[in-house]
Structure 1
Amino acid sequence: MKGVALVTGGSRGIGAATAKLLARQGYAVGVNYRLRAESAARVVGEIEQSGGRALAVQADVSIETEVVRLFDEIEQRLGPVTHLVNNAGALFTQSRLVDMDLERFNRVMLANTTSCFLCCREAARRMQPGGAIVNLSSIAAQLGAPFEYVDYAAAKGAVNSLTKGLAKELAAEGIRVNAVSPGLIYTDIHADGGEPGRVDRLGPTLPMQRGGTAEEVANAIAWLLSDQASYVTGAILEVAGGR
């Protein structure tokens, strides 16, 4: 077994694709979810049917005590977490910044930035040399997502800064920290923003003339976690079709 990988927000989209890929590569996988118990159970079921080891664990990773419980439960049932994928996140209906209220902004920061901070900190306290962390950013952090998701872009910009800083803090301890920055990817998150067909609308405008898949992002995440990326830390890898 390669180790124990925790994937937050692992019940759908990029998280689910990553959990299944890591299991195929020999990791035992903790599939974290907040609300979608049935979806998380399906991901675990697929992994187990293929001969892998997986465990679904409910936790709101924006809450400190639940993050500690999440790591404890995975450690007790699968073993210490050796690899972490901070995939949990959220966005809300497309909006101009001037029309956003403070409650929405704070919810976006909790879901995308606070959750990443808490899980990174818990991993840093527990991981041994050879561990690796991959945080999910977004190309929105560079583009700003005007008229749609400026709050989400700001939250992912903070994830980039956290990634860079923590990578330097943990490098001498043999723990690598990187981020993946997806662009337009076919996942359900666009429906959460009020436009399920957003990738179909914008995909043809990209240099590669299409949107990406969750599996393509998962491949990038898995590489950054692997020993093949042993000299890579503090990197933000764009998976965005040239956007």
Structure 2
Amino acid sequence: MPDVMIVTGGSRGIGAATAILGAKAGYAVVVNYASNRDAADDVVATIEADGGTAIAVKGDVGVEADIVAIFKAADELGALKALVNNAGIVAEAADVADYDLARLERIFRINVIGSFLCAREAVKRMSTKRGGAGGAIVNLSSAAAKLGAGGSRVDYAATKGAIDTFTVGLAKEVAGEGISVTAVRPGIIETDIHASGGEPGRVAEMAASLPLKRPGTAEEVARAILWLASDEASYSTGAILDVSGARAILP
């Protein structure tokens, strides 16, 4: 049976690009989606048209039972080799003084707790101490973790700061169990996550101010993810790789 890669939030943007490249690399891919079945099916169709194997699996990573179901579906394909903790959300820009509890609970539940629970299920399957054959977990952070996003989305930035810490801590915890844990920190990337946060024109508006004078692409981030998940990055556990076009480099 083939090695399996789970991509949470795999129906769009960076997740979709990662799923497609993962299939090209030989993985059987679980394309997880929360609500847009058509988009997930399109990713699966693209993979299958190229001779790859993929399934679309519905599940909200903010719901523990859904996460368990996603991993059970993956078990039917083969042995889990890679988890890409990509699913995440942003809210509309607002000052911290105007946040309510519901906003904070939702973004932390999906962006942080969901990543923890997905990693939990992955470690159970991959750990050589638990009978697994090892594997890789790649988390999605953001340049916002360094920049703070003051005046717009401090909550989102804080969730990604948590992911940075989680990546380093889990990497140390499972280093002796055959599991690598890494993360990528994308910068301004041309995806529809900006529209979901109420700013569909954000990428175009920011392009001229970026060091490279252009946004990144989902595939550029996906290539970094695939490298971190591969044996070529075998000594890079605990690493967090900026894919931000120099935007998040601190002085």
Give the TM-score band, short-chain normalised: over 0.9
Distance 2:135 2:157 in 1: 28
Shift of 1:2: 6.3
Residue 9 (structure 2) pairs with residue 9 (structure 1): yes
Give the alignment of 1:21-170 within 5 angstroms.
21-76=21-76, 78-127=77-126, 128-170=132-174
**What runs of 5+ residues in structure 1 fail to find an aligned partner?**
none
Can you list the C-alpha shifts for 1:75-97, whole angstroms capped at 9, x where unaligned? Answer: 12x11211000000001111111
Distance 1:136 1:213 in 2: 15
Residue 189 (structure 2) pairs with residue 185 (structure 1): yes
Instruction: State which of 167, 173, 179 in structure 1 corresponds to 2:177.
Output: 173
Distance 2:6 2:171 in 1: 18
Distance 2:172 2:20 in 1: 30
**What runs of 5+ residues in structure 2 fail to find an aligned partner?**
127-131
User: Is the CA contact 2:2–2:78 (under 8 Å) kept in the aligned structure 1?
Assistant: no
- What code does the residue aligned with 2:70 have? L
TM-score of the aligned structures, taking structure 2 as reference length: 0.94
Distance 1:233 1:129 in 2: 16
Distance 2:207 2:164 in 1: 24
SS in 1 for 2:79: coil
Aligned length: 242
User: Is the CA contact 1:135–1:178 (under 8 Å) kept in the aligned structure 2?
Assistant: yes
Q: Which moved more, 1:128-137 or 1:85-94?
A: 128-137
TM-score of the aligned structures, taking structure 1 as reference length: 0.97
Distance 1:203 1:133 in 2: 31
SS in 2 for 1:207: coil
Distance 1:129 1:52 in 2: 23
Q: Could you list the runs of 4 or more consecutive aligned residues of structure 1 that deviate by over 4 angstroms after TM superposition?
A: none
Shift of 1:115: 0.8
Can you list the C-alpha shifts for 1:15-68, whole angstroms capped at 9, x where unaligned? Answer: 000000111111110000010111000100110011000010001112112111
Identity %: 57
Distance 2:114 2:226 in 1: 21
CA RMSD of aligned residues (A): 1.1
